[in-house]
Structure 1
Amino acid sequence: MTDLLLIDGNNIGYAAMYQPALSRLAHNGRPTGGILGLTQSVMRLSALFPDAVPVVLWDGHAAWRRELCPEYKANRKDAPEKIEVAEKWRQQEPLARTLLYHMGVPQVRAADAEADDLAGLFCRALQTEDCPVRRVTLASNDRDWWQALGLAVDWFSPITDTHVTMEDMGTDKVKDGPFQDVGEYLLSKAMAGDDSDNIPGVPGVGVKTAVKLLRTHGGIDGICSAVQNGSAKDKKSAAIAEQHATIQRNLRIMDWRQAPDSAQWQIGVAREPFHAAAALDWCAELGLGRLSERLSDDGAWAKRVGGWPIGIVMDFLE
């Protein structure tokens, strides 16, 4: 049995480009701040969760989400500065993958699914009989990942160092909480929309209002019934009833369980043993001297990688 640390590669690498010191980092005219930020984060997370094997999940292209909502994530390139950051990270992503590969870190990507979908797939696999994974920690700054919380799944934000468990969802510790369960959280987000992913929700309805009305009327169908029979006369309930189809569409986009059949995904798993010389050569190529000091044959990273039950992990991922 082992624990896994599922790391949202694009989320963390992209976020690093908004840190002033990293956003300016470059070598021979090539941006490298995202590579350094992601790699340092992977190493730090591995130290914070020493019993877990880190696995970096990468985004593919889930075109079906844009078919449902053409404006999905269009806000990522709605300003010149956002376009610049996105382009800089696009250049760095394959280089970051190569460095992590030499560092011995398992990585997974599906051509037709996002990292979110992969996280959901692996978390659901915990429920299968004879699963070799005991516990999963989700490392992402994206609160959408809360939907996978369970008895054996928790969430950690590398930016804020916030740790959230399923039990925490029922407290004020979580933003806009408490929630009765992760299902209520997900439905309230579908009603409110998601600014970060540019998914429009019901105008004037935020997560807290959505939760309040869901509880008052016993769910979204209860809200629609109350509007229809006249027992709910407020404008927000009326707007929710009117936008019922939009809410269902949003739920289809947000709920990982509603993603297309994972059996059809083109999933690739990559991992090689830690190769210090190759990692050091790549650091030199990228001008990441400060990182190379931690990647020697006999350093802490080498010892940590050497202790991973990698056979069990690769069997699970594949």
Structure 2
Amino acid sequence: MTKMLYNDSLIDINDAKLSINDRGFQFGDGIYEVIKVYDGSMFTATEHIDRLYRSADEIRLVIPYTKDVLHKMLYDLVEANELVTGHIYLQITRGVAPRNHAFPTEFTMPTFIAYTQEAKRPINNHRFGVSAIFVEDIRWLRCDIKSLNLLGNVLAKQKAHEAHCYEAIQHRGEIITEGASSNIYGIKDGVLYTHPINNYILNGITRQVVMECCKKIKLPVVEEPFTKEQALQMDEVFLSSTTSEITPIIKIDDTIIQSGEPGKYTRKIQLAFEEKIQQLLLV
């Protein structure tokens, strides 16, 4: 039977019982991460755990484990479920307390859960690219925190789904911020453009790997906002995320991006990303 982490215990996933008074359920008062697993090994786990602790600090939530202990717990979870290729979902909330907007007492223990899911790599999307739509970014102003408050993202993703598209590219006014569940990039005249790290976007872990890949292939990077109109005029557009990896975008709304095929620089970044995965597996 599939195992999950519930606080500091490994239990059968069907035995999990969460309180209706958990603040994650009632307020979205918590944070989460998704870690990719390749051939049984966690990819960029240290970076994901570091970001989890940063998010916790931003919402004044104390995680009751050290980073090393949490890393070991997740490793044991992967081992217990014999996960080969897929991901780990983990979240921590402010805990169980009578419903009140203000924080509960300092003695309230956070609730931690984590589980694994088998998932194939989206190879066809990588090879052929995907379509996207523009959607107004209606989210709050702390998108740098990976919180459980994802309703704005859900509504954007649903619009994309109804339009038979893979992703919703969000924008504030005319400025592109990020996807509903990804970071967005454009390449023009041999230069990569992407929104700078601030409160309007999440500093994606895969985004950080993309920056390393660009350095490796000597692709200049400009971290500055670009507009919807500029996005449609890019030579190449792609997205990145833990589960989508490096995915070309070949159409936005009714506009085909250049030839309608993944571009040469996107291909080079994909290859550099693949090398990083292989380096993980050789350790």
Q: What TM-score, normalized to structure 1?
A: 0.27
Q: What TM-score, normalized to structure 2?
A: 0.29
Q: Choose between structure 1 and 2: higher helix proportion.
A: 1
Q: Choose between structure 1 and 2: higher strand proportion.
A: 2
Between the two structures, name the one with larger relative contact order (CA 8 Å, sep ≥ 6).
Answer: 1
The structure having more radius of gyration, on CA atoms, is: 1
